[in-house]
Amino acid sequence: MAPPVGGRTSVEEGGLGVRPKIGLVLGGGGSRGLAHIGVLEVLAREHIPIDLIVGTSMGGIIGALFAFGISPHLLAKRLVSLRGTTLFSMNLFSARARQRNIETQLSEALQDKTFADLKIPLTVMAVDMVTGQEVPISEGSLIPALLATSAVPAVFPPVEINGMQLLDGGVIDSLATHIAFAHGAERVIAVDVYPPLEIETPWVDPMSAIMGFQLPFGLVGNTGLQSRPPSMLASIWRATRVMAWHLHEERLHHHAPHVLLRPAVNDYGSLDFRDVQGPMTAGIEETERHLDKIRALFETPTYRMSELGN
């Protein structure tokens, strides 16, 4: 499912010279991943070329739509128009019904397109729930691959592709920078929307943290102490968060990108789609703060970044 490792590691653009091959990695994080649209808006505005995209979960979906040729502006407009509809509803009858709803919306935008139809090479990440191995997908039909990369356990059912039962790639790694390097990227920009491990009372209500608003007896973040002892479910939730965070940071350390963007989306729950504009604005602001670092990725003796867009 993945193309051969390596390949061309520089790009020649007529009149501008030879520049490094640029990879963009868009991480998973549910509604926080809407920040990717803001990031893409700034990169497009500044004429930052992207040669390949690696996406996980929401990062895979937004990466696919962008790679297909849908502008960040149109993406933002479409999502704002869908706010409050059943697209983001958790109240549908079953997990499969929710997944069919997402499939319908993706099909309207992408029809029956394949990875070969994309303008920018794309890889989306999934996990084989049987073997426990990560599965990069970069060929075949787009819709099943996007449903697989976003098949959050307990929210959506696994998706069968080539006999494998696939789950959200974030189960193993929500920010697959290693895949961008393996596919020949010389410079990597990564957008991390994974929620940080904050100091908090260990008995945060799990659904409060996921949905982004406080439920009875639940806390979101370190807002104070409770006299109530942590429930078994809250203890399991906290332990899982601690393990996942340390794994995330360790993998990021071993495959560090050249520019790491971390939009300020910590206050949004993974499934909290009530505020669509907020995460997108955070993506814009974070990218603008790092524009000098991003431009510096292209600085070579044979490439004139200053002439882009002129």
Active site residues: 57, 168
Query: Residue 292, class by beta-carbon neighbours within 10 Å (0-12 exposed, 13-18 middle, 19+ buried)?
Result: exposed
**215 phi-psi bin (left φ>0, alpha ψ -120 to 50, beta other):** beta
Asked if residue 205 lies in contact with residue 213, where contact means CB atoms within 8 angstroms, the answer is: no
- Look up residue 268 and give its two tokens: 């949004």
Tell me the sheet residues that pair with 168: 126
CA–CA separation, 280 and 263 (whole Å): 9
Q: How many helices and strands, by DSSP H and E, does the chain display?
A: 10, 10
Give 7-50 as a DSSP string. ---EEEETTTEEEE-EEEEE---GGGGGHHHHHHHHHHHTT---
Tell me the sheet residues that pair with 300: 303
CA–CA separation, 219 and 225 (whole Å): 9
CA–CA separation, 1 and 183 (whole Å): 13
- Look up residue 182 and give its two tokens: 């393996």
Looking only at the bridges linking them, the beta strands covering 122-128 and 164-168 are: antiparallel
Q: At what angle do helices 35-45 and 58-68 cross, to 10 degrees?
A: 30
